[in-house]
Amino acid sequence: MSTVTQRGLYFDELEEGVTYRHTPGRTVSEADNTLFSALTMNPQALHVDAAYAATTEFGRPLVNSMWTLSTMVGLSVGHLTQGTLIAQLGLSDIEFPHPLFAGDTLSVSTVVVSKRESKSRPGQGIVVLAHTGVNQDGTVVARATRTALMKMSPA
């Protein structure tokens, strides 16, 4: 009997220009936002003080954008990098064009922007991934470019 182990994709399985849609999405709760803000020691009233947030143009607390970024990357792991990532090398071009609120569902897709074999690490490659997060209405709430060092498939 054979065994199948869930994993991400190896460097050589990733294709430039392909969009990978990660499912399921993640519905954020007020507790997620409060706990994440507390764990990261971020007391920003826009995230944790409903009375204060009610006085802002948003009228309610915003989900901590670092939760959005972390969850956006996290939603891609099982599909792309579980067991095949060596290291995250960097994040860039991070933006949050629309707020996310408790009760919203974050869905994520990733495009492989580029990839190249590592010059100094045989059997490994560098991949640039563009993550996009949308809410349940399809409105873009976050974008980030991620550079990762990935394993190549075993010989």
Spatial distance between the Cα atoms of 87 and 78, rounded to a whole number of angstroms: 15
| pLDDT at residue 155 is higher than 80 | no
Give the pair of three-digit tokens for residue 136. Answer: 């349940």
| 11-55 tens-digit pLDDT | 999 999 999 999 999 999 999 999 999 999 999 999 999 999 999
Output 114 or 5, whichever has higher pLDDT: 114
146 φ/ψ angles, rounded to the nearest 5 degrees: -125, 135
pLDDT band, very low/low/confident/very high, at 65 (cuts 50, 70, 90): very high
Quick check: 149 pLDDT over 80? yes
For residues 123 and 152, the answer to whether their CB atoms sit within 8 Å is yes
* pTM beyond 0.85, yes or no: yes
pLDDT at 143: 98
- At residue 124, the pLDDT reads 97
Whole-number pLDDT of residue 5: 83
Q: What is the pLDDT of residue 137?
A: 98
Q: What is the pLDDT of residues 77-110, one digit of tens each?
A: 999 999 999 999 999 999 999 999 999 999 999 9
Q: Using CA atoms, how far apart are residues 102 and 120, in angstroms rounded to an integer?
A: 44
Nearest to 136 by CA among 109, 100, 110: 100
**Euclidean distance between CA atoms 56 and 124, whole angstroms:** 48
Residue 142's DSSP bridge partners are 133
Q: How confident is the model at residue 1 (pLDDT cuts 50, 70, 90)?
A: confident
